[in-house]
Copies of this chain bind each other. A is one copy, B any other.
C-alpha cells in the first residue's frame, strides 16, 4: 500500500484549539480528494483557504454542497456548523480596496470559529481623515488586524493610536518597488509603533489565527461574560 500523501493533523484541535486548515493552492486534485476522504472518516469540519473556483468545480456535487464557499476570499467551510457569534471582537482594517480579499480571508477565518469581525476598508493614510474618523471604534475592540500593501503606513499609524493587539498583514498589491509585498512586510516589521506584530504577505488566515489565540486567552479569563 502506498504511503499516504496527506496526513490530516486530527490532534491539532486538541493541542491548539484550531481545526486543520487546508491551503488548497499547490495541492493536486487527487490530494484534495484524499483530504476529503480522510475528513469523511472522522467527520470533522475543515477550513479551506486559497480554494479557487475552478478547483472547487472539480469536486463532486455532494462535496461541493458540503462547502460554504466565499469567492472573494477564496475560502470554503467544509461540514461547518455555524457557531453562534456575538458582538464583533476583531476589527479588520484595509488601506485600499485592493487589500480587501486578504482582509476577507481573515474575516472568514474568524467567522469559521464563531468570531464576528468589524470591517473598516479603504482607509489608507494618504487620506488620513478617513482613518481618524474611525479610531474610536477601533480602540474599543481587543484586536485590530491591519491589512495594507505598498508602504504599509497604515499599521504604523494604527499601532500608535490603538492600545489593543495590532497585527499587520502586508499585501502583495502594487508594482515596482512594492516588490510583491516585500516592501510592505519590511515596513511593518520596522515600524516604530510599539508592539506591532507581523504575519506573512497576504496571510489573512494567519492573522486571524493570531487574533484567535488572544481571544481564547480572554475567554478563559472571563468565562461568565460570554
Inter-chain CA distance A11–B163, complex, in Å, is: 12
B153 touches A153 (CB 8 A): yes
Candidates B31, B126, B142; contact of A191 at CB < 8 Å: B126
Query: Which residues in B have their C-beta under 8 angstroms from that of A27?
Result: 97-98
A2 touches B157 (CB 8 A): no
CB distance from A129 to the nearest CB of B (A): 6
| A177-202 contact mask (Cβ, 8 Å, vs B): 1 or 0 | 11111110111111111111111111
B126 touches A192 (CB 8 A): yes
- In the complex, which residue of chain B has the Cβ closest to the Cβ of A163? B16
A176 interface residue (CB < 8 Å to B): yes
Inter-chain CA distance A41–B133, complex, in Å, is: 21
A176 touches B203 (CB 8 A): yes
B194 touches A176 (CB 8 A): no
A173 interface residue (CB < 8 Å to B): yes
B17 touches A163 (CB 8 A): yes
Residues A160 and B16 in contact in the complex (CB < 8 Å), given A100-B5, A126-B192: yes
B6 touches A122 (CB 8 A): yes
A217 touches B142 (CB 8 A): yes
| A68-92 contact mask (Cβ, 8 Å, vs B): 1 or 0 | 0000100000000000000000000
B179 touches A189 (CB 8 A): no
Residues A197 and B167 in contact in the complex (CB < 8 Å), given A153-B156, A185-B177: yes
Query: Which residues in B have their C-beta under 8 angstroms from that of A173?
Result: 26
| A212-226 contact mask (Cβ, 8 Å, vs B): 1 or 0 | 111011100110010
B194 touches A183 (CB 8 A): no
Inter-chain CA distance A17–B72, complex, in Å, is: 34
Candidates B175, B210, B211; contact of A201 at CB < 8 Å: B175
A150 interface residue (CB < 8 Å to B): yes
A190 touches B177 (CB 8 A): yes
A25 touches B119 (CB 8 A): no
Q: Could you tell me which A residues sit within 8 Å of B by CB distance? A: 2-7, 9, 11-12, 15-18, 21, 23, 25-28, 31, 34, 72, 95-98, 100-101, 118-130, 142, 150-153, 156-157, 159-167, 170, 172-183, 185-203, 205-214, 216-218, 221-222, 225
